[in-house]
Chain A
Amino acid sequence: MSTTSQKGFLSFLYDCFRWNMQGSLSFQIFRLLLFAAMAFGIYAYSYQARSGLEVTGMSNIVSWGFYISNFTFLVGVAAAAVMLILPAYMFHDPDFHRVVIIGEGVAVGALVMCLSFITVDLGGPLQAWHLIPGIGQFNFPTSILAWDVLVLNGYLLLNALVPMYILYCHYKGQKADERKYRPFVFLSIFWAFSIHMVTAFLYQGLPARPFWNNPLMGPRFLASAFAAGPSLIILVLAVVHNFTNYKLDKKVFHKLRLIIVISAIINLIMLFSEIFKEFYFPTHHSIAATYLFFGLEGHDALVPWIWTSISGNIIATLILAFNPGDNNPKVLLPACFLLFIAIWMEKGIGLIVPGLIPSPMGEVVDYLPTWVELGVTLGIFALGITVVTWLIHPALILEERYEKMRASKMD
């Protein structure tokens, strides 16, 4: 295209960067704190890279730990953006249309974290190029992990490019051409489900691990993600509403609450169904669930963890369903936070670790992450939050400008 549009794009990027450098003092301090956390993460990771994964709590029995747990959970958070995209672009819901950009920002942040968690978990991160089709050997379509790499990167692209196109149009003061981006929106809705299902299939497809080899895995994954993701988005929206000039309508919160309640209830029903299957007539295959819920042979590291999670889950779901504060944010926000944490506990460690315990040869050990894993994880969370703020901050400034401009045109 012509050079003017190229220049326009560069100045778009430059302006986004410039806006990012501005902002209140407390905002900048917050960002510095994030950078400090990332620096600590890098330090911890460099230690791990030098000594090998032996500095983590993992072993030949629990061969996946905190990293893969967080990865699994965050895939759900990323997929949940679809709960904003769907009503915003498909049903042209005006309330969601104003916040969809925030949801997409959260999705990009979550995906960056997912990919980072996979990378830090690799024993040979420098060999990661062996995965790249063309120069490496990509075991597609046989290996589900290969699928996962594909769908995660695709979803990242979709969620980064569509909003970028729309924002860039708004930057130029034009209306984004819906015919151009609509097919990609369709695709990304379909894709959101696929990243989730594929990640579930990663575990579900392993007959070696009865705890995972369960057809409910994928659907339950979706339900829990559509509860946890929108909970997080409500929290982010509350922050945006309270700390920026971008004011949101209360209706968005109400609608999101409904989505969360429905998903959380479906999630609980499926959890109940799973528990029933494991414990009504316990078989050999229930042994991992026994380890998780009650402990085995004196190893019970996860028992308090999972019961905390389930209680949190039930309490938060009840609060959100009966809505005692009548959408009072003082009730709504803590409940969302509680639900988010409860699902993180369950769909992270509570899902991955018991799948590996006991070992297929019946050996029971406990798993506890070390400071290295916690440090790296902290760093990656800080990275994800940084990405989200760096994306949303300029995006909101842009949207606000664009709204003002359109309003003045109308007058």
Chain B
Amino acid sequence: MNSPKKKEGQMKKKDMPDTQCSRRSFLKTTSIAAAAGSASLVTGCIPGKNSGSSEEFKLKWEEYFKEHYRLMTQEEKDATISRLVRLAKLQRGLDLQMSSRPAREQVLYGYAFNISRCEGYMDCVKACVKENNLDRKSKTQYIRIFEMEPGQLDPSTGDAKYFHEVPVDNKFYMGVQCFQCENAPCVKACPTKATWREPDGIVVVDYDWCIGCRYCMAACPYWGRRFNWGKPEIPDEEVTTKQHYLGNRIRPMGKVEKCTFCVQRTREGKLPACAEACPTGSRVFGNLLDPDSEIRYVLKHKKVFRMKEELGTDPKFWYFID
């Protein structure tokens, strides 16, 4: 981990020109120009069946014109969160708790995966799907577990679609997910700055700012990103209601999403759901800047490697062997 002090997440105002002023005037002209017809288009609700109340309409209207997350003041963040919470209540009767908690000071998250311990139970996958409100219809998974032949270390030689009792003799298992690259090709690719690296090393997406061009998906060398091809479907009773704006809140259709090291949990001091669920203890997560953390112990005392090191992406995810 070179230069953990680098803080891409805290972009200064000077990098992002203050656009408030021109935005306001733009909003004014637009709202004058946009009559009721285009309004229904913008909010995506065809009047009639689903139009709901005028409150819902107003909330959606305000949501449509909101700012990029990183340019919002704390008040604006609170306002959009209360709108999102209210919309979830109006539309699905869900009681959400949504946070906008920023990165903690002096924290850089890292992850290590023990390939000699993992036995391929996929409890992590299940926990992740539940925790992160992943679309059940398309069976979206952030984590994939590859069943590997001995003598191989490249997951592309493995099989991620195994469906049998594990562990199997003479096989080993390798989990992959977004590796939270420090030099992330996906961030570089995005034309709208809708995805960026937070100061604690987590690469996040502003789902409402993303335009769904999928250039980041083409740019990721680890297949770390997923797209909402349709509207995500999660049964009401299975929705995880403790959410983070940049994390597990339910994504809109047509936007990109990815693993966030469970930002809604880790910033509260908890482990990511996958690390907590793992029955074999193969998943180690912690603060790379804390010399006493378990992750630092692993990096110091075990033989570790990272995937596609030659690309220079500098992932914050290591594999190790006992």
- B194 on the A face (CB < 8 A): yes
Are A123 and B212 also in contact (CB < 8 A) when A54-B229, A208-B311 are?
Answer: yes
Does A134 contact B191, Cβ atoms closer than 8 Å?
A: no
Does B44 contact A126, Cβ atoms closer than 8 Å?
A: yes
**Chain B nearest Cβ from A225, distance in angstroms:** 21
Contact stretch, chosen from B106-114, B155-163, B263-271: B155-163
Does B19 contact A139, Cβ atoms closer than 8 Å?
A: no
Contacts of B255 in A (CB 8 A): 123-124
**Chain B nearest Cβ from A15, distance in angstroms:** 29
- B190 on the A face (CB < 8 A): yes
Q: Mark A60-78, 1 if CB is under 8 A from B, else 0.
A: 1101100000000000000
Contact stretch, chosen from B92-100, B117-125, B217-225: B217-225
Interface residues of B in 247-270 (CB under 8 A from A): 252-256
Does A207 contact B311, Cβ atoms closer than 8 Å?
A: yes
Does B189 contact A143, Cβ atoms closer than 8 Å?
A: yes
**Chain B nearest Cβ from A363, distance in angstroms:** 7
**Chain B nearest Cβ from A364, distance in angstroms:** 10
Q: Mark A128-160, 1 if CB is under 8 A from B, else 0.
A: 101100111111001111100100000000000
Complex Cα distance, B163 from A249, in Å, reads 69
Q: How many A residues face the partner with a CB closer than 8 A?
A: 48
Contacts of B194 in A (CB 8 A): 130, 137
- A400 on the B face (CB < 8 A): no
Complex Cα distance, B220 from A208, in Å, reads 6
Contact stretch, chosen from A268-276, A309-317, A342-350, A352-360: A352-360
Q: Mark B172-195, 1 if CB is under 8 A from A, else 0.
A: 000010000000010011111110
Are A207 and B185 also in contact (CB < 8 A) when A131-B191, A138-B191 are?
Answer: yes
Does A208 contact B155, Cβ atoms closer than 8 Å?
A: no
Q: Mark A111-137, 1 if CB is under 8 A from B, else 0.
A: 000000010011111111011001111
Complex Cα distance, B146 from A363, in Å, reads 11
- A174 on the B face (CB < 8 A): no
A130's nearest neighbour on chain B, judged by CB, is: B192
- B26 on the A face (CB < 8 A): yes
- A209 on the B face (CB < 8 A): yes
Does B218 contact A356, Cβ atoms closer than 8 Å?
A: yes
Interface centre among A60, A118, A360, A361 (most CB of B within 10 A): A361
Cross-chain contact of B156 among A61, A136, A202, A358 (Cβ < 8 A): A358
Cross-chain contact of A144 among B41, B189, B214 (Cβ < 8 A): B189
B24's nearest neighbour on chain A, judged by CB, is: A135
- B52 on the A face (CB < 8 A): no
Are A136 and B192 also in contact (CB < 8 A) when A130-B211, A361-B176, A362-B156 are?
Answer: yes
Interface residues of A in 52-105 (CB under 8 A from B): 52-54, 56, 58-61, 63-64
A61's nearest neighbour on chain B, judged by CB, is: B223
B210's nearest neighbour on chain A, judged by CB, is: A124
Contacts of A164 in B (CB 8 A): none
- B144 on the A face (CB < 8 A): yes
Does A54 contact B138, Cβ atoms closer than 8 Å?
A: yes
Does B222 contact A206, Cβ atoms closer than 8 Å?
A: no
**Chain A nearest Cβ from B283, distance in angstroms:** 19
Are A123 and B253 also in contact (CB < 8 A) when A63-B227, A145-B215, A355-B218 are?
Answer: yes
Complex Cα distance, B82 from A370, in Å, reads 40
Does B214 contact A361, Cβ atoms closer than 8 Å?
A: no
Contacts of B229 in A (CB 8 A): 52-54, 56, 58-60
**Chain B nearest Cβ from A131, distance in angstroms:** 6
Contacts of A359 in B (CB 8 A): 223
For chain B, which range describes its interface: under 10, 10 to 19, 20 to 34, or 35 or more residues? 35 or more
- A6 on the B face (CB < 8 A): no
Complex Cα distance, B261 from A290, in Å, reads 36
Complex Cα distance, B68 from A206, in Å, reads 26
- B3 on the A face (CB < 8 A): no
- A5 on the B face (CB < 8 A): no
B interface, over-half SS: loop
Cross-chain contact of B213 among A51, A58, A136, A145 (Cβ < 8 A): A145
Complex Cα distance, B192 from A128, in Å, reads 9
Complex Cα distance, B26 from A181, in Å, reads 33
Cross-chain contact of A208 among B176, B221, B256 (Cβ < 8 A): B221
Contacts of A143 in B (CB 8 A): 188-191, 215
Cross-chain contact of B42 among A126, A139, A209, A363 (Cβ < 8 A): A126
Does A208 contact B160, Cβ atoms closer than 8 Å?
A: no
Complex Cα distance, B42 from A146, in Å, reads 24
A121's nearest neighbour on chain B, judged by CB, is: B213
Contacts of A127 in B (CB 8 A): 208-212
Complex Cα distance, B159 from A363, in Å, reads 9
Complex Cα distance, B218 from A202, in Å, reads 10
Cross-chain contact of B214 among A64, A136, A355 (Cβ < 8 A): A64
B158's nearest neighbour on chain A, judged by CB, is: A362
B221's nearest neighbour on chain A, judged by CB, is: A208
Complex Cα distance, B215 from A131, in Å, reads 14
Are A122 and B223 also in contact (CB < 8 A) when A59-B229, A146-B191, A361-B155 are?
Answer: no
B70's nearest neighbour on chain A, judged by CB, is: A137
- B16 on the A face (CB < 8 A): yes
- B7 on the A face (CB < 8 A): no
B208's nearest neighbour on chain A, judged by CB, is: A127
Does A131 contact B211, Cβ atoms closer than 8 Å?
A: yes
Does A206 contact B218, Cβ atoms closer than 8 Å?
A: yes
Contacts of A146 in B (CB 8 A): 191
Does B209 contact A137, Cβ atoms closer than 8 Å?
A: yes
Cross-chain contact of B22 among A121, A134, A142, A144 (Cβ < 8 A): A134
Does A137 contact B68, Cβ atoms closer than 8 Å?
A: yes
- B64 on the A face (CB < 8 A): yes
Contacts of A142 in B (CB 8 A): 188
Contacts of A138 in B (CB 8 A): 191-192
Contacts of A207 in B (CB 8 A): 185, 221, 311
**Chain A nearest Cβ from B32, distance in angstroms:** 16
9 contacts between A and B (CB under 8 A): A52-B229, A52-B253, A52-B254, A60-B227, A63-B218, A64-B218, A143-B188, A208-B220, A360-B156
A sample of 6 more A-B contacts (CB under 8 A), given A126-B64, A360-B221, is: A53-B212, A53-B254, A123-B210, A135-B26, A206-B185, A363-B156
What 10 pairs between A and B have smallest CB-CB spacing?
A123-B212, A362-B156, A123-B254, A208-B221, A54-B229, A54-B230, A145-B191, A52-B230, A137-B193, A146-B191
B interface with A by C-beta (< 8 Å)? 16, 19, 22-23, 26, 41-42, 44, 64, 68, 71, 138, 140, 144, 146, 154-158, 160, 176, 185, 188-194, 208-215, 217-223, 225-231, 252-256, 311
